[in-house]
Amino acid sequence: MEKEIRALKARKNAVIMAHNYQPLAIQALADVVGDSLELAVKAKEAKADLIVICGVRFMAETAKILNPERKVIIPVEDAGCPLADFLTPDLIREARQRYPDAAVVVYVNSTAESKALADITCTSANAVRVVGSLSNTTILFGPDANLAAYVQRELPEKTIIPISPGGHCYVHTGFTLADVEAARKKGGMVVCHPECLPEVQEKADLIASTGGMVRGAADGDEPWSVFTEREMVSRLRVLYPGRVFYEKPEAVCADMKKISLADLQQALDREEHEIVLSPEVMDRARRAIERMIAVGA
């Protein structure tokens, strides 16, 4: 099947982009593996006729918005992100009415319709930098309330107001203080994603996006307990075979595991499922995403 996928990829002039949480077999076939920001930047630059996003829907939508001339597909149509569903256009409109002087920062883990109402988007890799780049003191931030808390801690001069107060990722909020304690007993560093709970973030030695973890693990040799989706650890072990990484076996994003090799082969063959968005939504969302890219990682 791997041979067939490579042949189809060449025949269709396709590029395969996979998120760090994708199964290793998919990562191995991808031209690009990265975090949300890295995938967005690479999708914008892609010259291939067909862009295949192995990840969740918001990642494929972002690729389409940034490169609307290309055909963008996602192998499994219903691979979504439950965190994205915490934010609705109505919540953003209501928040704007209540805080007319605030800037609206929307995390990329959101729908295209929500991004279209943002002043700027951010990812976990650049959230602090994005908010810091704004002249507004008050920032409306959604959907992730834990990432909002992280940005607030890093930028105390700002007032960060979560648009969806309960917005969270179930995979990352599954990490508890008991996990921190257990990791401390194993020794080494506790490395967590900023979607983890604030009390867990406070105890961590390093807070990073998944791409930040890939880069950060290049330095040092102490063991890492990695508080994010467990496939991240599979990737880190491939990249740094001499280093010890501990995962939490229960930390699985079900949607990230929906795409199989058979799905990828069929998607390439049939060129489905195509991402189709209204031109108005794409145009407005593109402004917010490109503004983020201009701020940098």
- 35 sits near ligand SF4 (criterion: CB under 6 A): no
* Residue 272 beta carbon to ligand 13P: minimum distance, rounded to whole angstroms: 23
Question: Tokens 């501990």 map to which residue?
Answer: 246
- 226 sits near ligand SF4 (criterion: CB under 6 A): no
- 145 sits near ligand 13P (criterion: CB under 6 A): no
Interface residue with ligand 13P among 109, 114, 164, 201 (CB under 6 A) is 109
Interface residue with ligand SF4 among 207, 256, 268, 275 (CB under 6 A) is 256
* Residue 83 beta carbon to ligand SF4: minimum distance, rounded to whole angstroms: 4
In the bound state with ligand SF4, the residue whose beta carbon lies nearer, of 171 and 197, is 171
Strand partners of residue 19: 34
In the bound state with ligand 13P, the residue whose beta carbon lies nearer, of 125 and 233, is 125
Q: How far apart are CA 183 and CA 185, in angstroms?
A: 5
Spatial contact of 39 and 63, defined as CB atoms under 8 Å apart: yes
Spatial contact of 102 and 123, defined as CB atoms under 8 Å apart: no
Residue 124 binds which entry of ligand SF4, ligand 13P, none, CB below 5-8 Å type-dependent: ligand 13P
- Of the ranges 88-96, 118-126, 181-189, 242-250, which one interacts with ligand 13P (CB under 6 A)? 118-126
Q: Which amino acid makes up residue 61?
A: E
Q: How far apart are CA 136 and CA 138, in angstroms?
A: 6
- 210 sits near ligand 13P (criterion: CB under 6 A): yes
User: Alpha helices, DSSP H only, in 133-209?
Assistant: 145-154, 177-186, 198-203
Q: How far apart are CA 75 and CA 50, in angstroms?
A: 12
- 121 sits near ligand 13P (criterion: CB under 6 A): no
- 169 sits near ligand 13P (criterion: CB under 6 A): yes
Q: Strand 120-122's sheet: what is its strand order? A: 120-122, 103-107, 138-142, 159-162
In the bound state with ligand SF4, the residue whose beta carbon lies nearer, of 171 and 191, is 171
